[in-house]
Chains A and B, each alone.
Chain A
Amino acid sequence: MSAPAARHPGELRWETRLLTVVTVTMVVFGIANTYGALSLQTAGGGGAGFALRQFVGAMLGLLGLSVVSRVDYHLWRRLAWPLFFATILLLLIPILPGTERIAPRIHGARRWVDIGPLNFQPSEIARLAIIVWCAALAAKKGVQVREFKKGVLPFLVGIGTVALLILGQPNLSMAILVTLLGLIVLFSAGAKIGHFILLGLGGLLLLFEKIQSAQYRVARLTTFLNPGEATAAAGMQIHQSLVGIGSGRVLGVGFGEGQQKLFLPFAYSDFIFSTIGEEWGFLGIVLVVVLFGLFLWLGMRIARSAPDPLGQFLAVGITAMIGITAVMHMAVSLALMPTTGLTLPFMSYGRSSLVISLVATGILINIGRMRGRPARKAAAE
């Protein structure tokens, strides 16, 4: 580990400030588009009702962000294991029989847990928990991650457990995402490329078997591979999304003016990017991509100059979480990927996702703030 650069603590704060600005911009843009995507809807209070609920979520999330950004991120090392087990417990709720009351089946899957005032998706928490757990473990193991038995295998067990639990909901895309995020942390920690190649092959086999087992996934996948042939059912979603984005052209049809939301399922969450593309046009898409690009650049900057491996791994994981989720969401909307239920971070309607994303950003900001300070933990190691 190289010695931390001697910089003035305040000198580097612009990155964290810009990150905050980018994040808040995305959240505000998201709330506006939640309203716009629901402009033709009357159920559930209409666009205003959804936007209000999203606003409440954003307030909660921003509160979480400001709290977490002031808490030393080393706290997460201690929280890693408790968080991991708590996540597994939460993920067990929707899988276990007899829990229908608090984890109802919605649209053929049990992804929500509803306990009193709390109503959230445990898999969203798992997304962050797996990063924290992997980062903490990788930081602890150090160069040991280059071994298989003592290095890679424990990660695989942990990631695999969480991913399988998520798969049981069922929620394939989130399982893949969680696996991917865990492996990215492992990768950035220096695990051997050869292990990844082996893992990738095994994963593909598993994935293929898993995809084949679920009819709706087969439909989505074959549609994706051959969109012309099956525009009737599954390809309809992808096609409608393309039609919406395409008809936005350069400047878009105007905020709230898009009509394609009538044809898209969950136009305010799973297909918010499609709605943005339609209503804001190519310019809107470029804006969104630039915002995520900025986030990525800042996140990776913070990761690279983090004071210790824990900070680095956490920062890479969190940045990748936001970036990969965003890319996957956008790719689905543009028919570059089979349909998934992934939301666009900060922008899609959905408070679980929003709060988790904001809290994760809080961690990232804290890492950014820390890097001007003496690396006390690094020195300790």
Chain B
Amino acid sequence: MARIHARIGLIQVVLVASLLGIVVRAAQVQLVMGGAYADEAAKSRTELRTLEARRGTLYDRGGLSMAVTQESYRVGIAPNEVEERTALIRVAARQLDVSASALKRDFARKPYLYFYGPFTATDVEPLRAFKGVHIEGVFLRFYPSQRLAGRVIGRMTPDGEAASGLERALGGLITGTPGEEVVLKDRRGRRYESPGRLRKDPIPGNDVVLTIDAELQDIAEQALAETVAEFSAQGGDILFLDPRTGEILAVASQKNGAPDLMAFTEPFEPGSTAKLFTAAALLTHERVDTSDRVDNEGGHWKMELSNGRTRAITDEHAKPGMLTMAQAIEVSSNVVMAKLSDRLTPVEQYQQLRDFGFGAPTGVELPSESRGIVYRPERWQPELDRVSVAMGYYFEVTVLQLAAAYAAIANDGILLTPTLVREVRAPDGTLLYRHQPEPVRRAVSSEVAAQLREFLRGASSVGGTGSRAQVGSYGVLGKTGTARRIRNGKYVNEYIASFASMFPADDPQLVVVVKIDGPTGGQFFGGEVAAPVVRMMLEQALASKRVSFDRARMLGGQAASATNAAPSRPQITRPAPSRVVMPWPLPADSADPGTVAVPPLVGLSVRAAAVALHRRGFEVSATGAGTVRGSNPAAGTAARMGSTVRLQVE
């Protein structure tokens, strides 16, 4: 018995010691390490869930929705949680548009039924009452006007990322700020059916009113498609720009099914449409008098080069004789422009092109735009390249740059930044941003601009190459271009037909650039291919109720003959932006016309600094992306246009 008592005691001691061990261990876990475990518990049990913010709507300038985000719903049904089975099958079949028998079968067979939808709020509302139905809200992007302006607006990837176009470029402006919610989850990562705690409300994105005019865009896209088909061309671009504001009213591009907006991204040699820029340089530097006459050598001139060889220059449209510069542009005489270019230095030509914004990004909201190509004058071969430039070769421009340059001519010489964004509105409707014309620089003086418009008047009048563009009695100012294309470094018999124009002739409200790539079938001149498209589009635009011309201004210029051309319609009232009046150019940058002051850049982002430098004609080199600490040459220093400014980045 004593042994038994001892052994019972031993068992008891072991067990009590174990219990004490438990208490000691619990003290260690709870009292000593408790804080760390509590932190870990809080972290692992909760999940920070992002609440998607509603994306802003994109409107055309008239308020038509072009990209809308709508809350849609997807429906999941967990059959094992369902209580009113028959009723649910009946309602679900009706609301989700599926067959009741298939639903019944799936109920028995599948652990979880998922209906991708998307369904509307009214579709899913009756299902909310049922247990076991899980309704999931998703934001989906819709494009009500289908493909209209698709290349500008861009698209979303299926998982809700902006893939291209403005959807992507506008970035944080329209995405809004996602909210946060804390939800409980269990060990399998499932979120428990307890209400999440809201940490941050999602802030919807801003609405953006684009400068695009849906109607004009439609006209442009249709006209482009028809023209490309008619001439079996490879593609083409059409761009409408408001010269007083820089607003892009329509932009259409088409090429072999590629999704890019070629009008912004693909530079080309402009050909004769660029003759006006050499003319601008000649006028600015007073190297030519309007009464000067130059022999066009009967349309065929063998230009003698210093090495004893010759270069043949031909006019396609000119009748032989002595031509003034106005006449040379009217008939697009290469010979006369080639001869006149001798009166300019390459630097002067180069600077004029840079002044019109070539060789630099325009600053439009789509970052994919090309800057085009303008070679530095040091690289030019003497004699050859200045002639090429005068005829519109040896540099490349985008349709957008060409339109912006023509808009500068229409806008009394001031180059504006082209834009696609007219207004930004907060979700509650407050106006956050309204586009104001953004002058880049004075490209030419007001007098020269007026003179250039006179040249254009000649070029698009009867006898000029662009005569087929004329619309009723309003008059179109424009210049045709027919540029040969380069293939593998050689010019081939493939052409780019273009027409850069302004409408109406007096007080232009629109700059229209049409460019058709590789028209075939015998017709390839800008005057034959591109100019008629402009007329057709302008006629349609005038006949349209929605396209917003300032008809009062048009009538002011054409009071007498207005009745037959423009039917009197209720005028669309919109505040006519006042003509840009500002001290321009800014106080003399420097005496030497070839140099420009480096702007103050400190504190700007590299991107903003690069834009500022590009606009002044500088090349930029920077390493890294951050805030600019300084530049070399320093701010205020006069530096040659086209030279490189190095940014010191933090």
Interface residues of A (CB under 8 A from B): 1-2, 40, 42, 184, 187-190, 236, 240, 242-250, 259-260, 262-265, 277, 281-282, 285-286, 289, 292-293, 296-297, 300, 303-304, 309, 312, 316, 320, 323-324, 327, 330-331, 334, 336
Q: Assess whether A293 is in contact with B19, with CB atoms less than 8 Å apart.
A: yes
* A residues in contact with B26, CB < 8 Å: 245, 277, 282, 285-286, 289, 334
Tell me, yes or no, whether B25 is within 8 Å of chain A by CB.
yes
Q: Chain A nearest CB: distance from B133 CB in Å? A: 15
* B residues in contact with A296, CB < 8 Å: 12, 15-16, 19
Give CA–CA (A40, B185) in the complex, Å: 11
Q: Chain B nearest CB: distance from A238 CB in Å? A: 12
Which of B37-45, B69-77, B301-309 lies at the interface? B37-45
> In this complex, what residue of A is CB-closest to B28?
A334
* Per-residue A-contact encoding for B13-28, CB less than 8 Å = 1, 0 else: 0011011011101110
Q: Assess whether A289 is in contact with B19, with CB atoms less than 8 Å apart.
A: yes
* B residues in contact with A40, CB < 8 Å: 184, 192, 194
Tell me, yes or no, whether B187 is within 8 Å of chain A by CB.
yes
Q: Assess whether A246 is in contact with B38, with CB atoms less than 8 Å apart.
A: yes
Q: Assess whether A187 is in contact with B30, with CB atoms less than 8 Å apart.
A: no
* A residues in contact with B184, CB < 8 Å: 40, 259, 262
* B residues in contact with A320, CB < 8 Å: 11, 15
Q: Assess whether A300 is in contact with B12, with CB atoms less than 8 Å apart.
A: yes
Q: Chain B nearest CB: distance from A364 CB in Å? A: 13
Q: Assess whether B8 is in contact with A300, with CB atoms less than 8 Å apart.
A: yes
* B residues in contact with A264, CB < 8 Å: 187
* A residues in contact with B3, CB < 8 Å: 190
Q: Of B5, B16, B25, which one neighbours A336 at CB under 8 angstroms?
A: B25
Give CA–CA (A91, B63) in the complex, Å: 80
Give CA–CA (A245, B184) in the complex, Å: 18
Say yes or no: A262-B185 contact (C-beta < 8 A), given A40-B194, A246-B33, A334-B29. yes
Give CA–CA (A309, B4) in the complex, Å: 9
Give CA–CA (A334, B22) in the complex, Å: 8
Q: Assess whether A260 is in contact with B185, with CB atoms less than 8 Å apart.
A: no
Q: Assess whether B22 is in contact with A243, with CB atoms less than 8 Å apart.
A: no
Q: Of B9, B11, B30, which one neighbours A249 at CB under 8 angstroms?
A: B30
Say yes or no: A240-B30 contact (C-beta < 8 A), given A247-B41, A262-B192, A300-B11. no
Q: Assess whether B25 is in contact with A334, with CB atoms less than 8 Å apart.
A: yes
Q: Chain A nearest CB: distance from B550 CB in Å? A: 67
Say yes or no: A249-B192 contact (C-beta < 8 A), given A190-B4, A336-B25. no
Q: Assess whether B22 is in contact with A331, with CB atoms less than 8 Å apart.
A: yes
> In this complex, what residue of A is CB-closest to B46?
A259
* B residues in contact with A292, CB < 8 Å: 19
Q: Chain A nearest CB: distance from B185 CB in Å? A: 7
Q: Assess whether B38 is in contact with A250, with CB atoms less than 8 Å apart.
A: no
* B residues in contact with A312, CB < 8 Å: 4, 8
> In this complex, what residue of A is CB-closest to B26?
A285
Q: Assess whether A304 is in contact with B30, with CB atoms less than 8 Å apart.
A: no
Q: Chain B nearest CB: distance from A328 CB in Å? A: 9
Tell me, yes or no, whether B7 is within 8 Å of chain A by CB.
yes
Give CA–CA (A190, B6) in the complex, Å: 10
* B residues in contact with A248, CB < 8 Å: 30, 34
Q: Assess whether A249 is in contact with B34, with CB atoms less than 8 Å apart.
A: yes
Q: Assess whether B37 is in contact with A304, with CB atoms less than 8 Å apart.
A: no
Q: Chain B nearest CB: distance from A49 CB in Å? A: 15
Q: Chain A nearest CB: distance from B24 CB in Å? A: 10
Give CA–CA (A236, B30) in the complex, Å: 18
Say yes or no: A2-B1 contact (C-beta < 8 A), given A245-B26, A245-B29, A260-B45. yes
* B residues in contact with A244, CB < 8 Å: 37, 41
Say yes or no: A188-B7 contact (C-beta < 8 A), given A244-B41, A330-B22. yes
Give CA–CA (A105, B36) in the complex, Å: 39
* B residues in contact with A286, CB < 8 Å: 23, 26
A-B contact pairs, 7 of them (CB 8 A): A243-B44, A250-B34, A262-B185, A282-B30, A289-B26, A293-B19, A324-B15
* A residues in contact with B27, CB < 8 Å: 282
Q: Of B11, B31, B38, B42, which one neighbours A282 at CB under 8 angstroms?
A: B31
Q: Assess whether B4 is in contact with A189, with CB atoms less than 8 Å apart.
A: yes
Q: Assess whether A293 is in contact with B192, with CB atoms less than 8 Å apart.
A: no
| Residues 30-61 of B contacting A (Cβ, < 8 Å) | 30-31, 33-38, 40-42, 44-45
Give CA–CA (A158, B30) in the complex, Å: 42
> In this complex, what residue of B is CB-closest to A244?
B41
Give CA–CA (A309, B1) in the complex, Å: 8
Say yes or no: A260-B31 contact (C-beta < 8 A), given A40-B192, A300-B12. no
* A residues in contact with B19, CB < 8 Å: 289, 292-293, 296, 323, 327
Give CA–CA (A336, B17) in the complex, Å: 14
Tell me, yes or no, whether B378 is within 8 Å of chain A by CB.
no
Q: Chain A nearest CB: distance from B41 CB in Å? A: 4
Tell me, yes or no, whether B125 is within 8 Å of chain A by CB.
no
Give CA–CA (A312, B22) in the complex, Å: 27
Q: Assess whether A285 is in contact with B1, with CB atoms less than 8 Å apart.
A: no
Give CA–CA (A327, B22) in the complex, Å: 8
Tell me, yes or no, whether B193 is within 8 Å of chain A by CB.
yes
Say yes or no: A187-B11 contact (C-beta < 8 A), given A40-B192, A285-B23, A292-B19. yes
Say yes or no: A293-B8 contact (C-beta < 8 A), given A190-B3, A282-B26. no
* B residues in contact with A1, CB < 8 Å: 1
Q: Chain A nearest CB: distance from B439 CB in Å? A: 62
Give CA–CA (A285, B29) in the complex, Å: 11
- For the complex of A and B, the 6 pairs showing the least CB-CB separation, nearest first, are A246-B37, A262-B186, A247-B38, A249-B34, A263-B187, A247-B41
Say yes or no: A249-B41 contact (C-beta < 8 A), given A312-B8, A334-B22, A336-B21. no
* A residues in contact with B4, CB < 8 Å: 188-190, 309, 312
Give CA–CA (A316, B15) in the complex, Å: 12
Q: Assess whether A242 is in contact with B31, with CB atoms less than 8 Å apart.
A: no
Give CA–CA (A301, B31) in the complex, Å: 33
Q: Chain B nearest CB: distance from A301 CB in Å? A: 9
Q: Of A240, A245, A334, which one neighbours B187 at CB under 8 angstroms?
A: A240
Give CA–CA (A144, B11) in the complex, Å: 21
Say yes or no: A250-B12 contact (C-beta < 8 A), given A312-B4, A336-B25. no
Give CA–CA (A330, B15) in the complex, Å: 12
* A residues in contact with B44, CB < 8 Å: 243, 263
Q: Assess whether B187 is in contact with A289, with CB atoms less than 8 Å apart.
A: no
Apart from A249-B38, A323-B18, list 6 A-B contacts with CB within 8 A: A189-B4, A263-B45, A282-B26, A296-B16, A323-B19, A336-B25
Give CA–CA (A292, B19) in the complex, Å: 8
* A residues in contact with B186, CB < 8 Å: 262-263
Give CA–CA (A331, B26) in the complex, Å: 10
* Per-residue A-contact encoding for B257-276, CB less than 8 Å = 1, 0 else: 00000000000000000000
* A residues in contact with B7, CB < 8 Å: 187-188, 190
Q: Assess whether A246 is in contact with B8, with CB atoms less than 8 Å apart.
A: no
> In this complex, what residue of B is CB-closest to A252?
B30
Give CA–CA (A292, B22) in the complex, Å: 12
